[in-house]
Structure 1
Amino acid sequence: LGRKLGFPTANIAYDNTEKILPKNGVYYTVTKIKDKEYVSITNIGIKPSVQESNCISIETHILDFNQSIYGQNISIIFIDRIRNEIKFNHIKDLVNQITKDVYTVRKLNSLHITA
């Protein structure tokens, strides 16, 4: 869905027996791929706007990145929490919020500060 909305994501496999996650929400992150770091935005949660599920998912949108990384190992470095996960009734509202979130991450990254 992320790609169709204009925000392609790397979907991270999560086995809740192995790792402790930050609480559900949207985060300013840095994604590390093969020793290179990229500014990213990460959602941890149940994706309430697009599915009815209690399963936790981790999705990362890497800003200004268009390479295929399917099947590669990546690391996500959490910099700061931007907001809670929100349920939107309309996909256009979700897209508008993601656009605002990306703007926030760009601004924070350019200023090298945390929210």
Structure 2
Amino acid sequence: MTNQIFWNECEKSSKDIAYLFSGLFSGLVVHGRKIGRELGFPTANLKVINEEYVSLTKGVYAVKVFYKRHEYLGVMNVGTRPSFDENTENIYYEVHILNFNKPIYNEILNVKVLGLVREEKRFSSKKDLISQIQRDIKKVYKYL
């Protein structure tokens, strides 16, 4: 299956929200609540630089992360973290960098969005969320 077929399949179920951002954006890695780490998927929580130029809908994305002349594959959630935060309007950018485990607080990451994996949704349990994250990562590995 080609990458284009994969992304077309992803878009079929969420056609109205499928926005593929073709550019790069940068963000400063800031301290978060460490929820991703507790779930087994540590994330780089980004304070996006020039956020007004980043037009991503809420969802989970396949991304490439560029850090210190290296390129990494990642899975990024953009949204309000509905499984953990209620009634918030804040948009968070959280990147789980695959096969990466280094302290990067206060570092700048460059992120290229490759495609939408799924829309953001609320999970009723941590177990359900963990299972979905595992499926998201498998999708990204399988088709990229």
TM-score above 0.5, yes or no: yes
How far apart are residue 22 of structure 1 and its match? 1.2
> What's 2:29 paired with?
none
Size of the aligned set, in residue pairs, is 109
> What's 1:59 paired with?
94
User: Quick one: which of 101, 106, 121 aligns to 1:86?
Assistant: 121
Determine if contact 1:38/1:62 at 8 Å carries over to the other structure. Answer: yes
Larger radius of gyration: 2
**Aligned-partner SS, 1:101:** helix
Please state if 1:97 is matched with 2:135: no
CA distance in 2, matches of 1:51, 1:15: 23
Q: Deviations over 1:17-63 (max 9, x none)?
A: 64323111000000010121100000100000011111100000000
Please state if 1:47 is matched with 2:81: yes
> What's 1:4 paired with?
38
User: Quick one: which of 56, 69, 73 aligns to 2:104?
Assistant: 69
How far apart are residue 14 of structure 1 and its match? 3.4
How far apart are residue 101 of structure 1 and its match? 0.4
**Moved runs in structure 1, 4+ residues, more than 6 A?**
none
How far apart are residue 8 of structure 1 and its match? 0.2
Higher helix share: 2
CA distance in 1, matches of 2:67, 2:77: 18
Q: Note the residue ranges of structure 2 that are not aligned, 5 or more in a row.
A: 1-34
Q: Note the residue ranges of structure 1 that are not aligned, 5 or more in a row.
A: 110-115
Give me the TM-score of the superposition, normalised by structure 1: 0.89
* Identity rate, percent: 39
Determine if contact 1:14/1:57 at 8 Å carries over to the other structure. Answer: no
Give me the TM-score of the superposition, normalised by structure 2: 0.72
